[in-house]
Amino acid sequence: MADYQVTCVVPDGADADRRIDRLGGPGWNDSIDNVIRFIKAGAHRFYTSVAGQTVWVVVKQHPTSGRDYLTTQADGFPPNNLLKLPHC
């Protein structure tokens, strides 16, 4: 299992769900669907850094649509840390 730092995102556009299409970091860039598969399978872990602290990316399921999405563990810095990252 490898750990990958997330430093940028590719947003999905102006849709209401604000889903991210891709994540990227030093030396890598991959689709959100692949990242979700990696996390769910326990193959890789992804994290970002907030105020000098490591914050892990986790998979959650939308309560009404049932669609998997990525967010970060609760860290006291709302909203989702991934949405604050620069675009790749």
Q: What is the pLDDT of residues 19-72, one digit of tens each?
A: 788 999 999 999 999 999 999 999 999 999 888 889 999 999 988 888 898 888
Enclosing domain of residue 62:
2-84
CA distance 48 to 45: 11
Q: Is the pLDDT of residue 82 over 90?
A: no
Give me the sheet containing 53-61, strands edge to edge.
2-5, 44-50, 53-61, 68-72
pLDDT value of position 76: 58
CA distance 6 to 85: 9
Bridge partners, residue 8, by sequence: 24
8 Cβ neighbours under 8 A, 6+ residues apart: 23, 24, 25, 85, 86, 87, 88
Against a cut of 0.75, is the pTM above it?
yes
Domain count, the chain: 1
Q: State the pLDDT confidence band at 1, using cuts at 50, 70 and 90.
A: confident
